[in-house]
């Protein structure tokens, strides 16, 4: 009986930033749990990911939109609704990072990161939420970060955005929990993705990071699969406003 509560059969999900990395891994996990999945790429349609996920046997579409632009968020949601007729699960994963010392961090970088990593989360949650509130059910999963809790170094715009994602998660949950819509977040630890390529290539920094992770390794996209399916399913119906760290024990150290 308990395993049935994790099934996503018949559900429709949109996973932003799912052309590769964490987003692709989450999208595959949702599809394997039975969900139909709308994939999203910021610059191009994630066709290769679509082919991989189609093998799971559920329906999938691949869409492109620059979610840093408000009108593109509206268009993206319209395309998902046209393709599937509704939306049950939204995973706000699209993100970018710009590195520079705080005193030299440009306004261009600040605005670009905040638009993609925070404003798009707010707008897409609004748009999906209108349908979820009407049907009195839905799951929103925001992708937070270790920098939701910590300040980081050389990434002030990213830290500010991910801190905001944590607070948005709680704000939406406070309003929507009683209306059948769950809003939660996953905070990945140090993951071996494009966003951390600079850190992985720096021998000293990589060593320092690995020494702090009790699990003794960098995370991989598949490490988020269980958390994503849990928060997208009926198994988490009484979980609201939480930020679930999947970090190999980083925060506990």
Encode pLDDT of 23-68 as tens digits. Answer: 999 999 999 999 999 999 988 777 878 888 888 899 999 999 999 9
pLDDT band at 198 (very low <50, low <70, confident <90, very high): confident
**Residues 127-150 pLDDT 10s:** 999 999 999 999 999 999 999 999
In this prediction, residue 238 carries a pLDDT of 98
Residue 81 lies in a domain: yes
Residue 153 lies in a domain: yes
Is it the case that residue 197 has pLDDT exceeding 90?
A: no
Instruction: Give the residue from 115, 118, 101 showing the smallest Cα distance to 161.
Output: 118
Rounded CA separation 253/191 (Å): 17
Residue 227 lies in a domain: yes
Expressed as residue numbers, the domain containing 115 is 2-245
Q: How many domains does the chain have?
A: 1
Compute the average pLDDT of residues 17-27: 94
Compute the average pLDDT of residues 210-239: 96
Asked if 58 and 35 count as a contact pair (C-beta separation under 8 A), the reply is yes
Whether the CA torsion 200, 25, 231, 174 is positive or negative: it is positive
Asked if 21 and 194 count as a contact pair (C-beta separation under 8 A), the reply is yes
Contacts of 8 (CB under 8 A, 6+ apart): 30, 33, 34, 35, 89, 229, 232, 233
- Annotated active-site residue 238? The verdict is no
Is it the case that residue 231 has pLDDT exceeding 80?
A: yes
Strand partners, 184: 141
This prediction has a pTM of: 0.96
In this prediction, residue 81 carries a pLDDT of 98
Rounded CA separation 116/130 (Å): 21
- Set 158, 176, 190, 250: catalytic member: 158
In this prediction, residue 44 carries a pLDDT of 77
Residue 253 lies in a domain: no
């Amino acid at each position: 009986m308990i395993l049935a509560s994790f099934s996503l059969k018949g559900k429709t999900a949109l996973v932003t930033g799912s052309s590769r990395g964490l987003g692709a891994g989450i999208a595959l996990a949702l599809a394997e749990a039975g969900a139909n999945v709308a994939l999203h790429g910021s610059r191009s349609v994630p066709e290769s990911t679509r082919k991989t996920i189609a093998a799971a046997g559920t329906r999938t579409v691949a869409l492109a939109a620059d979610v840093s632009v408000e009108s593109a968020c509206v268009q993206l949601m319209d395309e998902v609704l046209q393709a599937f007729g509704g939306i049950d699960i939204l995973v706000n994963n699209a993100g970018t990072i710009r590195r520079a010392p705080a005193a030299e961090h440009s306004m261009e970088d600040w605005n670009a990161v905040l638009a993609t990593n925070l404003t798009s989360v707010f707008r897409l949650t609004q748009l999906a939420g209108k349908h979820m509130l009407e049907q009195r059910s839905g799951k929103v999963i925001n992708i937070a970060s270790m920098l939701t809790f910590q300040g980081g170094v050389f990434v002030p715009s990213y830290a500010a955005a991910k801190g905001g994602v944590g607070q948005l998660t709680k704000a939406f949950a406070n309003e929507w929990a009683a209306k059948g819509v769950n809003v939660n977040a996953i905070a990945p630890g140090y993951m071996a993705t494009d966003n951390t390529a600079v850190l992985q290539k720096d021998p000293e920094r990589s060593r320092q990071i690995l020494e702090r992770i009790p699990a003794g390794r960098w995370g991989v996209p598949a490490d988020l699969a269980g958390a994503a399916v849990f928060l997208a399913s009926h198994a988490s119906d009484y979980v609201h406003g939480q930020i679930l760290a999947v970090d190999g024990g980083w925060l506990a150290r």
